[in-house]
Structure 1
């Protein structure tokens, strides 16, 4: 600002002198603030074992500042954490404590410099004849290096161990990233890429091709036993290759382009990062629901098949009739699947590591639960079949081999205990991660409790009123109490089974661990198929649009013709009326 004594004095000043003798009044900056829910959402992702990386076209200083506010990078030294503690930089002693076996972790370089010592020497020799812009950039880098704390020190990527947690996080610029990981032909140097990506958290001044390169390199990496599962967010047309290449592509529903939405797998209708966390939570919940049902279904089928087969062989009569097995099949397939599939997601799903690509569908924990629950239930079933009549002092049902003989209380109790055990075992089947409390979150799912109560009610009706149709006979109150108590033992037995070490089962017993093989030719045929299908769909849309236009044109012509006919008829009637009046 410049002050003039007279109002028209500024008109007398030469144009070249207008910008002289100015006073600085204020500096105004525009900030796009981080949404309040984003830091908490990123913290949930990190607790869930998901590494969040930011790829942006902003300069490095802005990118680092935003990453710190979001929680992708730790706070700057001297700033205050959410718990009130003060962030401090990682010094040499602390780094040695964190990585005592990593001799290269003490390598201290900036991401602007190459990892080779020769490049650092060249930069020092050329600093004197650098341009003003270069000197300004170097001063900014020095300031960032001095105050960035953890992110002023970058790993040299020469570590022998490539685990993601080995070494400090890295911020890099797009040109430097391309120089490191791409060869002269533009192909990814996978060995060099594998040195960088475990530590990479922020990529600034990037291009859309850098995002695609990052996704392709992560998918092609084999550092970990389980290959990485990559998800990408994007809103622009240039992001569509990366969205298509990733395992899961998230497009923005509000700011996203049509091309980005078509290339994505999931569209975020609110453009909110917190929705990604919800998608992760629901995805894990769906996977767990499938695993719960498989665990429960295999237990039921194993007990039912072995009971029916061995009883038919030993006593020449199946302890479970065909109608009873049909009821068990209906109960276990339809109602149980509905009960276990309606489990609402909880925050506990975000407190464990994600499943890998090669994870077995039936884990060793599930196999342990299936085997020991089946052994316990089989022991109960065969005890009831062979000595249950003596325990309860009721007539023996084993000798009653005639198909037309009336049903007995003995085998009714066997059937009743089996069904009640499976109904209560649904509570145990809700846990597939070695939880010891079978009732955890059980009362949060009202639909599960309603289905459980409905199954119990239907079982009571079948036993009391099923008669010959279900080969059952009504039971006394004492017999019902015996069946319920015996079935309730499934819950404490399940808690005890959860304490059995999983290591007693060899890893080879896991089912579904074989990694999927990539069929390049099949993949190419699928691409051609989808491309051809897309073209056909586009052509059909064009044809339908033309048909709609033709139909609307015909409709307009028809309406015009009808209007003309009505006008002609009105003129004719008017002429006849005038003739009649003249006569």
Structure 2
């Protein structure tokens, strides 16, 4: 009866050991640890699984403003018609043009200017573009922005939208009872609506083909200097009653008041971060609402584009052009596109969907409410913590707290670290399982007895699953992770390098422990119980030493960076201490016998040989197809 119970107990234990139930624990631990550490790197993880998915990202679709740039716009260039002028006061223009510009800036805005009592300077609120224009008007030109609000009545407001790229107001001057339309927005869009323009003297000139081409070149040149070009235009309404009744803004025959160029410099470190992504074989695609010339200039400044490249329609496209592609054209060109200008939220969503259809793992940054569909559709949605709306944050997986692209790259590095740590634990866990199962199976078939008892196997399972998982899950990502290609969507979790390491260590342990099983008594002149204790102790120590091998799956120096992970060292010391207690003081419970110093030395020596073996096998090149186990 006892032998039957022993067989049943051994069988149940082998089943328990064979199942890597420590894997969920290891995954949860490494995700939770990484999530905590990423907070210090300005990334708040909302969904744990996003950490690991980010490590597999093959493409990052990023916004420009605030992510690649500082989001601190400033007016640096001003044009009146075809002439440039000073940015600051005194602005050499006629009074009527000055008043029109004051009305357009003061009424056609979502920003606000407020001067608290006893404050030396006014407080200006609004979007970065609005703040830049208001700051220029108030601080550089000395305009009283509240004056138009007192002297005019706003009849209708056309808010800015991503399709038109402009905003407008229909207003009436109280003193003259004249109704006017004011527009402000993307320069090339405004220019298309204009038939005249103002010169410094206040006179109006017709925009003929030559003048239109000249002004278009001014806009392109400003964009080439990475300036965002904003135009102001105006017209007096012809049919006042109809316009006032229907709130309709005139969109043709306008008069161009002027152009301003706003500079938003790249963030420090962005170019280095982009280079890191390129070295990591991750594609960067910049999606922006700016015109093509501004988008190209910023992309070159950030390192997304190379100034020496032939930048054609396959590299830089406009949103309208992209959405008008046929599905076949879009799938053919999607990989080559690196910048999409004048894009709408729908274009961004379409880009994400197309990339996913190509099998890419896509990360997307966004900050606006309109970005929510793209953030949800992406494999990893990254919202901005400062400029981001609540809708965008709720739709995202990770919140970038400092709105910086450098932090996006840090998240990518942590994601790869998470994936790598999971692989380390799987390699380590399967080595334990394979060795334990083979040893007990061969011994049971040949002699009818198992060298590792149920309690011993459960003890190994306990310390290797919990402490082993904790040790390997807390490894910080190394810089060499950013020199490898991303894993991708369809790659297997267990790589050929892992199989090489796993099989070599498991084979060594099986050979050594089976030798001890069949020849241990004669080699060491000990009884059966001491021999079984030697097998148990050597087996556990082999796992402890192999834990160091598991830290580096490809690198030959397994001790590199070990001093930075005190938790790993502490867990190894705790494991060794618990094993000594198990062997020396829990004899009845563990069915062990005390070992002398020589026997302990033999156990440690045999286990330590796993280090040179691990070093040697890493010289063996691996090639061919991956083993398809544990598909991702």
Report whether the alignment pairs 1:36 with 2:268.
Answer: yes
CA displacement, residues 93-116 of structure 1 (integer Å, 9 cap, x when unaligned): xxxxxxxxxxxxxxxxxxxxxxxx
Report whether the alignment pairs 1:213 with 2:350.
Answer: yes
1:123-522 superposed matches below 5 A = 150-152=309-311, 154=312, 170-179=315-324, 181=325, 189-221=326-358, 227-392=359-524, 394-397=525-528, 408-432=529-553, 434-503=554-623, 507=625, 509-513=627-631
- 1:174, distance to aligned residue in structure 2 (A): 1.9
| Structure-2 separation of matches of 1:508 and 1:422 | 25
| Secondary structure of the corresponding residue to residue 542 of structure 2 | helix
Provide runs of 4+ in structure 1 moved above 4 Å.
15-18
Q: Does structure 1 conserve the Cα–Cα contact (< 8 Å) formed by 2:452 and 2:536?
A: yes
Q: 1:344 to 1:422 in 2, by over 3 A?
A: same
For CA contacts below 8 A with separation 6 or more, give which structure has more relative contact order.
Answer: 2
| Secondary structure of the corresponding residue to residue 30 of structure 1 | strand
| Structure-1 separation of matches of 2:576 and 2:490 | 39
Residue of structure 2 in register with 1:141 after alignment: none
| Structure-1 separation of matches of 2:392 and 2:202 | 50
CA displacement, residues 417-436 of structure 1 (integer Å, 9 cap, x when unaligned): 1110011101111223x222
1:46-61 superposed matches below 5 A = 46-61=278-293
| Structure-2 separation of matches of 1:17 and 1:283 | 56
Q: 1:411 to 1:177 in 2, by over 3 A?
A: same
| Structure-2 separation of matches of 1:63 and 1:237 | 22
Q: Does structure 1 conserve the Cα–Cα contact (< 8 Å) formed by 2:542 and 2:607?
A: yes
| Structure-2 separation of matches of 1:313 and 1:17 | 100
| Structure-1 separation of matches of 2:278 and 2:199 | 57
CA displacement, residues 137-168 of structure 1 (integer Å, 9 cap, x when unaligned): xxxxxxxxxxxxx244x37x6xxxxxxxxxxx
| Secondary structure of the corresponding residue to residue 354 of structure 1 | coil
CA displacement, residues 522-561 of structure 1 (integer Å, 9 cap, x when unaligned): xxxxxxxxxxxxxxxxxxxxxxxxxxxxxxxxxxxxxxxx
- 1:380, distance to aligned residue in structure 2 (A): 0.4
- 1:372, distance to aligned residue in structure 2 (A): 1.9
| Structure-2 separation of matches of 1:229 and 1:17 | 52
Q: Does structure 1 conserve the Cα–Cα contact (< 8 Å) formed by 2:468 and 2:547?
A: yes
| Higher strand fraction (1 or 2) | 2
| Secondary structure of the corresponding residue to residue 286 of structure 1 | helix
Residue of structure 2 in register with 1:71 after alignment: 303
Q: 1:437 to 1:18 in 2, by over 3 A?
A: closer
| Structure-1 separation of matches of 2:425 and 2:579 | 21
| Structure-2 separation of matches of 1:176 and 1:438 | 52
| Structure-2 separation of matches of 1:17 and 1:151 | 38
| Secondary structure of the corresponding residue to residue 509 of structure 1 | coil
- 1:512, distance to aligned residue in structure 2 (A): 3.4
| Higher helix fraction (1 or 2) | 1
Unpaired segments ≥5 residues, structure 1: 3-9, 22-26, 77-88, 90-149, 158-169, 182-188, 222-226, 398-407, 516-583
| Structure-1 separation of matches of 2:626 and 2:487 | 18
CA displacement, residues 225-261 of structure 1 (integer Å, 9 cap, x when unaligned): xx10111111111111111111111111211112212
| Secondary structure of the corresponding residue to residue 602 of structure 2 | helix
Q: Does structure 2 conserve the Cα–Cα contact (< 8 Å) formed by 1:364 and 1:510?
A: no
| Secondary structure of the corresponding residue to residue 267 of structure 2 | coil
Q: Does structure 1 conserve the Cα–Cα contact (< 8 Å) formed by 2:492 and 2:627?
A: no
| Structure-2 separation of matches of 1:317 and 1:387 | 15
From the CA coordinates, give the structure whose radius of gyration is larger: 1
- 1:29, distance to aligned residue in structure 2 (A): 4.7
1:16-31 superposed matches below 5 A = 19=201, 29-31=261-263
| Structure-2 separation of matches of 1:151 and 1:236 | 33
| Structure-1 separation of matches of 2:531 and 2:377 | 62
C-alpha RMSD of matched pairs (Å) = 2.5
| Secondary structure of the corresponding residue to residue 502 of structure 1 | coil
Q: Does structure 1 conserve the Cα–Cα contact (< 8 Å) formed by 2:492 and 2:626?
A: no
Q: Does structure 2 conserve the Cα–Cα contact (< 8 Å) formed by 1:293 and 1:336?
A: yes
CA displacement, residues 40-92 of structure 1 (integer Å, 9 cap, x when unaligned): 21111111111111111111111111111111112x3xxxxxxxxxxxx4xxx
Q: 1:200 to 1:457 in 2, by over 3 A?
A: same
| Structure-2 separation of matches of 1:269 and 1:44 | 20
| Structure-2 separation of matches of 1:211 and 1:474 | 68
| Secondary structure of the corresponding residue to residue 262 of structure 2 | coil
Residue of structure 2 in register with 1:567 after alignment: none
Q: Does structure 2 conserve the Cα–Cα contact (< 8 Å) formed by 1:151 and 1:171?
A: no
Count of aligned residue pairs for this structure pair: 385
- 1:18, distance to aligned residue in structure 2 (A): 7.3
- 1:176, distance to aligned residue in structure 2 (A): 2.2
| Secondary structure of the corresponding residue to residue 203 of structure 1 | strand
| Structure-2 separation of matches of 1:303 and 1:282 | 32
